[in-house]
């Protein structure tokens, strides 16, 4: 089976497993997996939101408050991105104020907390470049400043964190334990999460 077919199959499986009623399909909403043939620990792994950062091999962390007149059964638990035509991105959430995606000064791909559009002072919100899949069975791609992404191991193996460029260690030297990935995407037509933790 070709790498492309495996990626598409994995993305379809992820999207099919998402709960909730179908919404109108928009090419701006997508889920993503990493792709790096030959490196099993990071190849075809879902890119998940957790703790205002993005990871491989870690569950998505979403939340819906149990308050009056809010039906949490309407919201999913998938990490879903929303690409904006100005080259910025946000998360596909229902929480008022939304959650913006950014690249921190150290290269980490992150997103804002709830009820706040404030990104860290030294972070960059643009320019993301999203090329949606052009046909069923195809995949789209995402880059930042026309560059790919890397994933670096965390202390919680086998979890890898997503970065827009190779980060430096505490001594200021570039980390050499990171792996370049392709950010492969698939259009998403399911429900949003209420918010991501």
pLDDT tens digits for 79-128? Answer: 999 999 899 999 999 998 899 999 998 899 999 998 777 899 989 999 99
Q: What is the pLDDT of residues 183-193, one digit of tens each?
A: 999 999 899 99
C-alpha pair distances (Å), 60 with each of 57, 120, 161: 10, 22, 13
Q: Which domains does the chain have, with CATH numbers?
A: 3-196 (2.80.10)
**Residue 30 to residue 17: CA distance in whole angstroms:** 14
Q: What is the pLDDT of residues 14-37, one digit of tens each?
A: 444 444 444 443 448 999 999 999
Taking residues 129-134, report their average pLDDT.
Answer: 93
**Residue 111 to residue 180: CA distance in whole angstroms:** 21
Half-sphere exposure of 159 (CA within 13 A, CB side): 13
Taking residues 46-66, report their average pLDDT.
Answer: 97
Beta strands 62-63 and 100-103, pairing class? unpaired
pTM of the model: 0.85
């Amino acid at each position: 089976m070709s790498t492309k077919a495996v990626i598409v199959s994995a993305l379809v499986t992820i999207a099919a497993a998402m709960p909730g009623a179908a919404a109108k399909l928009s090419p701006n909403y997508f889920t993503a997996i990493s792709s790096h043939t030959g490196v099993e620990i990071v190849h075809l792994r879902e890119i998940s939101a957790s703790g205002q950062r993005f990871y491989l091999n870690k569950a998505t962390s979403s939340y819906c408050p149990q308050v009056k007149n809010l039906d949490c059964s309407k919201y999913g638990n998938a990490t879903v991105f929303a690409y904006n035509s100005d080259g910025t991105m946000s998360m596909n959430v229902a929480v008022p104020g939304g959650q913006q995606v950014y690249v921190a000064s150290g290269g980490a791909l992150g997103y804002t907390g709830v009820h706040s559009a404030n990104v860290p002072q030294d972070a960059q919100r643009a320019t993301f470049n999203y090329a949606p899949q052009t046909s069923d069975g195809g995949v789209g791609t995402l880059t930042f400043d026309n560059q790919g992404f890397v994933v670096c191991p965390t202390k919680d193996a086998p979890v890898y964190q997503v970065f827009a460029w190779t980060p430096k260690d505490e001594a200021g030297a570039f980390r050499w334990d990171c792996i370049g990935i392709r950010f492969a995407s698939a259009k998403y037509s399911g429900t949003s999460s209420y918010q991501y933790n």
